């Protein structure tokens, strides 16, 4: 979905990153910012968001199976 919205994006984590691991599942929570994103129509975009990723180990590889983002005001 992000590739259908942006022609270019660059994000970086800011602050603490917390990871909880239990066998083949992991949850990561963090805050990220983007100040160098470009929407497909050419409009510049910036954001700061809190994120939660749920990861699952599938066939030996870790995959994100769920993502939740919340805008920071």
Q: What is the DSSP secondary structure assignment for residue 73, as one 8-state letter?
A: -
Query: What is the rounded CA–CA span in Å between residue 64 and residue 52?
Result: 10
Q: Which residue has the tokens 């994006």?
A: 9
- The CATH code for residues 2-71 is 3.10.450.50
Q: What is the pTM of this model?
A: 0.73
- Beta strands 44-58 and 61-71 are antiparallel
For the stretch 14-48, pLDDT in tens is 888 999 999 999 999 999 898 778 888 888 888 88
Task: Copy the structure tokens of residue 11.
Answer: 């994000």
């Amino acid at each position: 979905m992000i590739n259908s919205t942006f022609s270019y994006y660059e994000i970086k984590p800011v602050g603490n990153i917390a990871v909880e691991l239990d066998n083949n599942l992991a949850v990561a929570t963090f805050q990220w910012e983007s100040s160098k994103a470009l929407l497909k129509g050419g409009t510049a975009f910036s954001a700061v968001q809190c994120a939660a990723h749920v990861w699952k180990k599938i066939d030996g590889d870790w995959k994100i199976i769920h993502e939740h983002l919340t805008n920071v005001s």
